[in-house]
């Protein structure tokens, strides 16, 4: 169940940490975009997916999000933004003769909610 409208987190860097938590549901741990705000140049840059590692948070699959570990420890004044970036696809296939699994239906509805949130985020940031 998606109970909030958060599609991203923004975390202030402190010059000593390089692990950042994204606590929201994902369908694949690689469906995120990581950005860094450089406090000196006052600009956002998207990090290459080779500049960080993603691990699942403990709990029920990806319902509890992921932790992003960057290769670099960024300075105080910088920020990390982790944005959910699920593909715009529908993967659930209901057949007329198949059984109905409530969890499958819940995941399909969660995916729709996530996609709406992503579109809303993109519109807000045009």
Over residues 44-97, the pLDDT tens digits come to 999 999 999 999 887 666 678 899 999 999 999 999 999 999 999 988 888 888
Name the β-bridge partners of 38: 43
**Residues 57-62: contacts with CB within 8 Å, 24+ apart?**
57/21, 57/23, 62/25, 62/26, 62/27, 62/28, 62/29
Query: What pLDDT sits at residue 59?
Result: 66
Whether 116 has a pLDDT exceeding 90, the answer reads yes
pLDDT at residue 64 in the model: 80
Mean local confidence (pLDDT), 28-40: 94
Q: CA–CA separation, 119 vs 103, rounded Å?
A: 24
What average pLDDT does this structure show over 15-37?
A: 94
The more confidently predicted of residues 98 and 21 is 21
Distances (CA, A) of 116 to 25, 85, 122: 14, 11, 10
What is the percent of the chain where pLDDT is above 70?
97
The rounded distance, in Å, linking the Cα atoms of 31 and 45 is 18
Report whether pLDDT(126) > 90: no
Q: For strand 8-12 and strand 66-70, is the pairing parallel, antiparallel, or unpaired?
A: unpaired
Question: Which region, left, alpha or beta, applies to residue 13 given φ > 0 means left and ψ of -120 to 50 means alpha?
Answer: beta
Residue appearing with tokens 């699942």: 56
Q: For the whole model, what pTM was predicted?
A: 0.87
Instruction: Using alpha carbons, list the distances in angstroms from residue 23 to 38, 122, 123.
Output: 23, 20, 23
Count CB atoms within 10 A of the CB of residue 109.
Answer: 13
pLDDT band at 18 (very low <50, low <70, confident <90, very high): very high
């Amino acid at each position: 169940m998606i109970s909030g409208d958060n599609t991203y987190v923004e975390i202030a860097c402190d010059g000593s940490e390089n692990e950042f938590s994204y606590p929201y549901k994902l369908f694949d741990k690689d469906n995120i975009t990581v950005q860094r705000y450089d406090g000196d140049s006052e600009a956002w840059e998207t990090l290459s997916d080779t500049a960080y590692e993603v691990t699942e948070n403990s709990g029920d699959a990806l319902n509890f999000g992921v932790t992003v570990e960057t290769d670099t420890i960024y300075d105080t004044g910088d920020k990390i933004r982790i944005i959910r970036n699920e593909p715009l696809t529908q993967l659930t296939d209901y057949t007329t003769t198949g059984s109905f699994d409530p969890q499958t239906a819940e995941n399909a509805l969660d995916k729709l909610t996530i996609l709406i949130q992503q579109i809303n985020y993109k519109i807000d940031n045009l």
